[in-house]
Structure 1
Amino acid sequence: MTIGYLPWGRPEWVMSRPCLRDSRHELTYAEVARRADAVATQLSEHGIGEGDVVAIMLPNRLELLLVILAAWRLGATATPINPVFTANEAEYQLRDSGAALVVNSGPGAPTAGLPSIAVEALRAEPAGVVPDREVRPEELALLIYTSGSTGRPKGVMLEHAHLLAMTSMLSDHLQLTDADHCLLVLPLFHVNAICVSFLSSMLAGGQLTVLERFAPLPFLEAVERHQPTYFAAVPTIYARLAELPADVVPDTSSLRFAICGAAPVARELLERCEERFGFVVVEGYGLTEGTCASTCNPIDGARKFGTVGPALPGQQIATIAPDGSILPPGEVGEVVVRGPNVMRGYLNRPEETAATLVDGWLRTGDVGRVDEDGYLVLVDRVKDMIIRGGENLYPKEIESVLYGHPAVLEAAVVGVPDPVYGEVPIAYVVAYPDVPVTAGELLDHCRRNLTKVKLPVEIHRLDALPKNPVGKIDKPALRKALQPR
């Protein structure tokens, strides 16, 4: 099996093409391969070889990608760490992953006592020859840690076979070619940015421009300057773009499409972005445990707003009843996924792996239904469900109604304990700038669209909703704020 996203061993005409750039560097495929070899010789001098784990705690920059490639060159595994983690959070991942070395920003960065290499000290030219070895599909490529919203973060084990299956599916579905150019803005400690932006563009022979962080105006300036053909983002980013003043009129004509994923998004927000910026936005769905994506609306085919699209080629998606039986189309149940992209398991957690990988299916913990055309409609997370007086309420349904009000930019609904009903829903809303709306108006809007049992007991206006490191609305933080002190 040829692993086509690796930069070395490609035809000569590919090697001279632009490959990676950020604000510091611009490298061809040949230069990327050489720089990866240079870092590989440095890692090798620190004893890194087959089966070892290299941790990388850096913000978005080319060196992060070069270290990943260098680790793979040696048969090692990479585990990227959120660069804003506290010492406690970073050291947990360093210890749990069994990392032998960490590449970081330099003095003061957490190391858990491990040997480290500062990013500025990374080698640019090889010192010696890297062993000529073949990267094998069954080798462990990445250890990506879950967000830990339901407990301590777990290391998801992804082999090169999983990454190759995922990037091949994405490249096929998105019709990527060597003419495509991705603008990467999501954090590289997450599998979305690694697979959708980095590896998929590498597999297609295209190019990647890496932005260190997102801010609306600099992002649009980067679109105008670099002329990318696509990007992937989370709903929060589209919300920040949609709220820009009307006199901001960027040139986005180079963009073939954009992808929205990682969290539920309102139809109104996607339509607003499409109308304003003129590019197609396709919504997709997936988990780290499924190596990123399992469904996605097509770019050219039938896009169904309110769904996250059909299964990607090579995957199956279904819903199951509580007894594990597969449900017919239209029936609501837990979403399950099957395909060559599903993880090996959780590192050193056999019981949790066994509970998640059941009879060949990945149990997602999401609730949804598959329609008659095979498109997945997400209802909510199992753990987010609110039981009000014996009635099951899904916050996403209430949020969708709130998003239907023209003043609402973002919304989140969580359950709070209640002495009579057990739990009741409370809503938090962020409005578009300079659009006046009261909590009473929003509640009236809900009354017109929801039965009484689904009405939030309170609606709070906020300037911003808390976000986790990946950009999703942080519902655990909202629930924690509601706990009695």
Structure 2
Amino acid sequence: MTSRDTVTDPLPSGRGAALPDGGGVPASPPIPPRLLTDLIDSAVRDHGERRAIDFLGRRWTYAEIGALVDRAAAGLQAMGVGPDVRFGLCLPNTPYFVILYFAALRCGATIVNFNPLYVEHELRHQIRDSGTTVMAVIDVASIHAKVAAVAEESGLEKIIVCPLADILPTFTSLLYRLFKRSEIARWPADARHMAFGDLTRANPASFKPVAVTPDDVAVLQYTGGTTGVPKGAMLTHANLTANSHQMTLHVGHGAEANDRIMGVLPMFHVFALTTVLNFSVDTAAEMILLPRFELKQFLKTVKRTRPTKLLAVPTMLTALNKAAASQDVHFDDLDFVVSGGAPLPFDVRQEFERVTGARVVEGYGLSETSPILTCNPITGVVKDNSAGPPFPGTTLEIRSLDDPHRIMPQGERGEVCARGPQVMKGYWNKPEETEKVFVDGAIRTGDVGYLDEDGYLFLVDRIKDVIICGGYNVYPRVIEEALYEHPAILEAVVIGVKDDYRGQAPKAFVVLRPGQSASTAEIAEFLKTRLSKIELPREIEIRQSLPKTLIGKLSKKELVAEEAKKAAG
């Protein structure tokens, strides 16, 4: 695969960039292919004195982060990390994530992002499927225990333990060690474990440069795609740096802005990986990192740091609107908010803009596109209920739902398909799935929408069976399979229902086996060990029977209609 000199160069696997009639806004400026490590190298070289990270009040400059990246890279290389190694990050938003991300990439490794909230079977599957052999994990006992439990059987050879207390401000660290002692992991002194501090004792001069190209896979970003079966989207250095560059073009400024970017969305999710980590380093901005969204801590941090940019999901903005009704929210320096992950209700956007005076724009994308495809403009027309026009260098096509090789006229509905330098190389070790997700070289999103006369995208439906819950994809099939493991359950169906806070939430309907009994509380407790918190049904309803199609298949549409009627009235 050759490097892309401009956004109109050939795409991977012959996915040409010819722009057929009916496509969206064509490419504008050239987007040069780069390595992700170029971003940190440039920031350290040109803005080393600038603050790079604020983590709960402790701060690092770009020069300090760059030195830690160099030492960690030398340590990883001495450990055997190099090309063809998949390096797992099972970390919340911390300086460790930033340092080890760039260090492993410098070694030529491929990053595999893991959600620390994964349960053991999810960790096991992703480690095995990706071939991850080295994993970095925070020293929170509950998280480390899960990784350690699956390490041997899944082929995980090394675990790098990252102590939270070591990156906290001095007094906070003391209190944490004193009062949270039971929550700190204890790990064995064996060949599999290594502390981050030991890793970074390596001499950076010992590092031997590795040949890496922009077309090499940088990140395996796992996604359920259209089926709910986790697949690793192969995102190259060129894909991810292109999306960061596209964001710079969309925003209209770079390093001269001296931005302070609020990083509370998890960087193991590709939206924050691009908009918080890659974009911040690309523009030498300060990352204000929080390990999770906890309202009181978030508002306290906002007051102390005065961010200029906020990357959010609708549930965050809903919570902030509610807080603003009773207290000051201190968003005086905020220029704008980009909301992604789920549809943004108009009233939520309107209220946040009224309270803060900052503009809120909605974007759209998917893991397979690094992730941003469209976004409403920072200055200019924001159209209500629209996902905005294509990102610079991105072409949208609306293709017929009956014949995907036919492009629909402007204004007519069809499947949203896209081309651009941010589009993935394919799915890891799944050539057939890769073939299915592309049509005539354009990636199929699984969403139904249309383009208006100005090229703005409006989404109207979803082809995929997926629930967007607080910005995360939750797949009914995964929950249904967990329900079927319960010995008392005969049939199970899961749908998405309206949720004022999360947008949507899963609701389960079950039928019990004859002669068996189980309460909803018992079923909910049973699911806690099999599903992550975000996947747990908000409600479980036990019924005598469930609707079926004429051929006897369980049918969801009647349940969806029932719940919609309840919500309406």
Given candidates 138, 145, 160, the residue that maps to 1:117 is 160
Given candidates 231, 235, 250, the residue that maps to 1:173 is 250
Separation of aligned partners in 2, 1:125 and 1:26? 21
Cα separation, partners in 2 of 1:94 and 1:431, compared to 1, 3 Å: closer
Query: Helix, strand or coil for the counterpart of 2:458?
Result: strand
Given candidates 49, 63, 67, the residue that maps to 2:96 is 63
Q: Does 1:40 align with 2:73?
A: yes
| 1:110-159 C-alpha deviation (Å, 9 max, x unpaired) | 14322211113214454352223454201211011115783321111000
Given candidates 129, 150, 155, the residue that maps to 2:227 is 150
CA contact (8 A) 2:234 2:424 kept: yes
The amino acid of 1:323's aligned partner reads: D
Tell me which moved more, 177-186 or 359-368: 177-186
The amino acid of 2:159's aligned partner reads: S
* Aligned position for 1:255: 334
Instruction: For 1:11-50, list aligned pairs within 5 A.
Output: 12-23=45-56, 25-50=58-83
Instruction: For 1:303-322, list aligned pairs within 5 A.
Output: 303-321=382-400, 322=402
Given candidates 84, 88, 93, the residue that maps to 2:126 is 93
CA contact (8 A) 2:43 2:281 kept: no
CA contact (8 A) 2:71 2:203 kept: yes
* Aligned position for 2:453: 372
CA contact (8 A) 1:35 1:126 kept: no
* Aligned position for 1:331: 412
Query: Helix, strand or coil for the counterpart of 1:169?
Result: helix
Q: Does 1:347 align with 2:428?
A: yes
Cα separation, partners in 2 of 1:135 and 1:9, compared to 1, 3 Å: farther
Q: Does 1:297 align with 2:343?
A: no
Instruction: For 1:142-291, list aligned pairs within 5 A.
Output: 142-147=219-224, 150-178=227-255, 179-244=258-323, 246-291=325-370
CA shift at 1:16, angstroms? 1.7
Cα separation, partners in 2 of 1:89 and 1:103, compared to 1, 3 Å: same
* Aligned position for 2:217: 140
CA shift at 1:65, angstroms? 1.6
Separation of aligned partners in 2, 1:215 and 1:243? 14
Separation of aligned partners in 1, 2:408 and 2:248? 30
| 1:95-115 C-alpha deviation (Å, 9 max, x unpaired) | 111112111134524143222
Query: Helix, strand or coil for the counterpart of 1:212?
Result: coil
Tell me which moved more, 2-11 or 252-261: 2-11
Query: Helix, strand or coil for the counterpart of 1:142?
Result: strand
* Aligned position for 1:455: none
Separation of aligned partners in 2, 1:53 and 1:130? 19
CA contact (8 A) 1:252 1:277 kept: yes
CA shift at 1:357, angstroms? 1.6
Q: Identity over the aligned pairs, expressed in percent? A: 34
CA shift at 1:428, angstroms? 3.9
Cα separation, partners in 2 of 1:12 and 1:64, compared to 1, 3 Å: closer
Separation of aligned partners in 1, 2:249 and 2:136? 34
Cα separation, partners in 2 of 1:24 and 1:40, compared to 1, 3 Å: farther
Separation of aligned partners in 2, 1:202 and 1:191? 15
Query: Helix, strand or coil for the counterpart of 2:323?
Result: coil
Tell me which moved more, 134-143 or 101-110: 101-110
CA shift at 1:38, angstroms? 1.6
| Between structures 1 and 2, the one with greater helix share | 2
* Aligned position for 1:446: none
RMSD: 3.0
CA shift at 1:22, angstroms? 1.2
CA shift at 1:315, angstroms? 0.2
Separation of aligned partners in 2, 1:286 and 1:480? 31
Normalising by structure 1, we get a TM-score of 0.79
The amino acid of 1:144's aligned partner reads: Q
Separation of aligned partners in 2, 1:136 and 1:104? 28
* Aligned position for 1:451: none
Given candidates 440, 463, 479, the residue that maps to 1:359 is 440
Cα separation, partners in 2 of 1:327 and 1:354, compared to 1, 3 Å: same
CA shift at 1:41, angstroms? 1.9
The amino acid of 1:277's aligned partner reads: T
| 1:271-325 C-alpha deviation (Å, 9 max, x unpaired) | 0111112211000000000111000000111111110100000001121102011
CA contact (8 A) 1:6 1:69 kept: no
* Aligned position for 1:82: 115
Runs of 4+ in structure 1 off by over 3 angstroms are 1-5, 9-13, 123-126, 147-150, 425-432, 468-471, 476-485
The amino acid of 1:267's aligned partner reads: F
CA shift at 1:365, angstroms? 0.3
CA shift at 1:23, angstroms? 2.3
Cα separation, partners in 2 of 1:176 and 1:62, compared to 1, 3 Å: farther
Separation of aligned partners in 1, 2:533 and 2:334? 23
The amino acid of 1:314's aligned partner reads: G
Separation of aligned partners in 2, 1:137 and 1:86? 33
* Aligned position for 1:127: 203
CA shift at 1:11, angstroms? 6.8
CA contact (8 A) 1:187 1:470 kept: no
Query: Helix, strand or coil for the counterpart of 2:147?
Result: coil
Tell me which moved more, 13-22 or 295-304: 13-22
Tell me which moved more, 36-45 or 371-380: 36-45
CA shift at 1:35, angstroms? 0.6
Separation of aligned partners in 2, 1:326 and 1:307? 20
Cα separation, partners in 2 of 1:49 and 1:152, compared to 1, 3 Å: same
Which runs of 5 or more structure 1 residues have no equivalent in the other structure? 386-394, 397-411, 415-422, 433-465
Structure with the larger RCO, 1 or 2 (CA within 8 Å, 6+ apart)? 2
Query: Helix, strand or coil for the counterpart of 1:282?
Result: strand
CA contact (8 A) 1:311 1:375 kept: yes
CA contact (8 A) 1:48 1:100 kept: no
Normalising by structure 2, we get a TM-score of 0.68
| 1:155-183 C-alpha deviation (Å, 9 max, x unpaired) | 11000000111110011101242211211
* Aligned position for 1:448: none
Query: Helix, strand or coil for the counterpart of 1:8?
Result: helix
Separation of aligned partners in 1, 2:409 and 2:390? 16
Separation of aligned partners in 1, 2:254 and 2:42? 19
The amino acid of 1:153's aligned partner reads: P
Separation of aligned partners in 2, 1:427 and 1:12? 50
* Aligned position for 2:509: none
* Aligned position for 1:444: none
Which runs of 5 or more structure 2 residues have no equivalent in the other structure? 1-32, 164-194, 469-473, 477-492, 503-527, 547-569
CA contact (8 A) 1:37 1:126 kept: no
Cα separation, partners in 2 of 1:318 and 1:478, compared to 1, 3 Å: farther
Cα separation, partners in 2 of 1:102 and 1:481, compared to 1, 3 Å: farther
Q: Does 1:383 align with 2:464?
A: yes
